[in-house]
């Protein structure tokens, strides 16, 4: 029996996205399975189903279920998975009980899947040697969402900018490094100009995203 413990990173996201004139709740997830040195061996990204995209905690747990099922299919006996969401970590380690039944059902499913490994431990993402794995699956989850909100016009893929609601080609969208939110170039430029005018750090303009850019302009 191999003693190697694989490292599993999962990220589920739900996001309110504007597609043409319609606002929709879209879910996506990313999974990465790494060796003990954090080298990526397997990775996937995909859309979450409607019932998996009802709220953020459900999306996170659904991503974890997808990741654990995949690790079982690959017959990885020992797995450590990392949670960057403290609530989820408390649920899956039994330190807290979720209130909502949809969340509780998924927590039970995670426990059941965990029991099928020879060892399957949950750790906070803060203990990982690098944030690479978590950042990577976040990027995958965002890409899975982005792929569901674009449409084709001729040879060009189009997306709606969530700030100005203009439809722009995907090539004309800027992706914020770190959180991977996407906006049209004009909106990003306005954000950067304002920050420079007021001598403030450049922030990601997505509502509720507190990422501060490392480089201005």
Contacts with Zn ion, residue ranges (CB under 5 A): 161, 163-164, 176, 179, 181, 184, 187, 204, 206, 209, 211
Tokens of 135: 């950042």
The dihedral built from the CA positions of residue 156, 160, 163 and 165, taken in this order, carries a sign that is: positive
Residue 213 burial (CB count, 10 A): 18
Nearest approach, Cβ of residue 214 and Zn ion (Å): 13
Of the pair 127, 208, the CB lying nearest Zn ion is at 208
* Distance in angstroms (rounded) separating the CA atoms of residues 31 and 13: 12
* Distance in angstroms (rounded) separating the CA atoms of residues 84 and 10: 9
Of the pair 101, 210, the CB lying nearest Zn ion is at 210
Nearest approach, Cβ of residue 167 and Zn ion (Å): 10
DSSP H helical segments within 85-168, as ranges? Answer: 86-92, 101-114, 132-149
Nearest approach, Cβ of residue 152 and Zn ion (Å): 20
The continuous run of DSSP H or E covering 13 comes out as: strand 5-19
* Distance in angstroms (rounded) separating the CA atoms of residues 66 and 42: 13
Of the pair 73, 153, the CB lying nearest Zn ion is at 153
Of the pair 76, 134, the CB lying nearest Zn ion is at 134
Nearest approach, Cβ of residue 13 and Zn ion (Å): 11
Nearest approach, Cβ of residue 174 and Zn ion (Å): 9
Of the pair 69, 190, the CB lying nearest Zn ion is at 190
């Amino acid at each position: 029996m191999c003693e190697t413990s694989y490292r599993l990173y999962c990220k589920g996201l739900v996001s309110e996205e504007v597609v043409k004139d319609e606002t929709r709740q879209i879910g996506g997830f990313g999974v990465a399975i790494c060796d003990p040195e954090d080298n990526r061996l397997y990775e996937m990204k995909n859309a979450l189903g409607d019932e998996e995209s009802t709220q953020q905690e459900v999306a996170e747990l659904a991503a974890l279920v997808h990741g654990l099922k995949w690790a079982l299919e690959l017959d990885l006996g020992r797995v450590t998975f990392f949670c960057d969401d403290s609530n989820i970590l408390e649920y899956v380690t039994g330190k807290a009980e979720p209130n909502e039944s949809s969340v509780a059902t998924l927590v039970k499913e995670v426990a059941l899947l965990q029991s099928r490994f020879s060892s399957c431990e949950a750790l906070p993402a803060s203990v990982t040697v690098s944030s690479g794995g978590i950042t990577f699956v976040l990027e995958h989850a965002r890409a899975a969402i982005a792929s569901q909100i674009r449409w084709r016009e001729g040879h060009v893929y189009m997306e709606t900018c969530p700030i100005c609601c203009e439809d722009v080609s995907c090539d004309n969208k800027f992706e914020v490094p770190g959180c991977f939110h996407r906006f049209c170039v004009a909106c990003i430029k306005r954000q950067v100009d304002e920050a420079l005018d007021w001598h403030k750090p450049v922030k990601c303009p997505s509502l509720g995203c507190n990422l501060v850019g490392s480089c201005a302009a």
